[in-house]
Amino acid sequence: MNVEIFVANESHAKYAQEIVDLIYESAQVRGTGIAKRTPEYVAEKINSGKAVVALDGDKIVGFSYIETWGHNKFVANSGLIIHPDYRNQGLAKKVKEKIFGLSRKLYPSAKIFSITTGLAVMKMNTELGFKPVPFSELTDDKEFWKGCRGCRNFDILERNNYKMCLCTGLLFDPEKEETIQKPSTFAKKLVKPVIKKKVPKKIYKK
């Protein structure tokens, strides 16, 4: 496998229809719902540099893109797909890491979220620092939830007033992550630096 992963640009827009077909076929096999996307929508994400593609030569074998909600306060990594012939080789994790890194670069202050029924996606997100949260912690942007209308489970979401469904909500909050990783000023004061005292060398007389 000689696969390379790139931040997408205009030269990759030609793959838009293949990507849409892969996403749809994958949803059919898994028997789960998925928000439908048009080739034009996918091409727009590619052209704007808000997607990543995995290529084996000239063959498209992986893809994911960025969506923003709530005036860029929330970011979703969506449409993660791997060609059936390239699955179970760790490629999905690499694509996920690439799109996550691109999201952090383009929107460093945004909360990144995901809703999924896939255990593999949950595992990848958890390794990146995502935490399970109720839907109330995710974006309240109505346009995002409209995207769930193409899902076969949409009636469950609607009956529960958009507060729960079969998907699990996962959230990466950069502020909380920085708080955990960086000690506070008070904590720094508690840790006193260890100063090594210089011990004079003994002089032995012959």
Report the residue count for the chain. Answer: 206
The pLDDT-based confidence of 201 (bands split at 50, 70, 90) is low
- The tokens describing 71, both together, are 């005036």
pLDDT of residue 183: 39
Model confidence at 205, pLDDT cuts 50, 70, 90, reads low
For the entire predicted model, the pTM comes to: 0.77
pLDDT per position as a tens digit, 34-82: 566 899 999 999 999 999 999 999 999 999 999 999 999 999 998 899 9
pLDDT(131) > 50 = yes
Second-level CATH architecture of 3-184: 3-Layer(aba) Sandwich (3.40)
Host H or E run for residue 62: strand 59-69
Domain ranges for the chain: 3-184
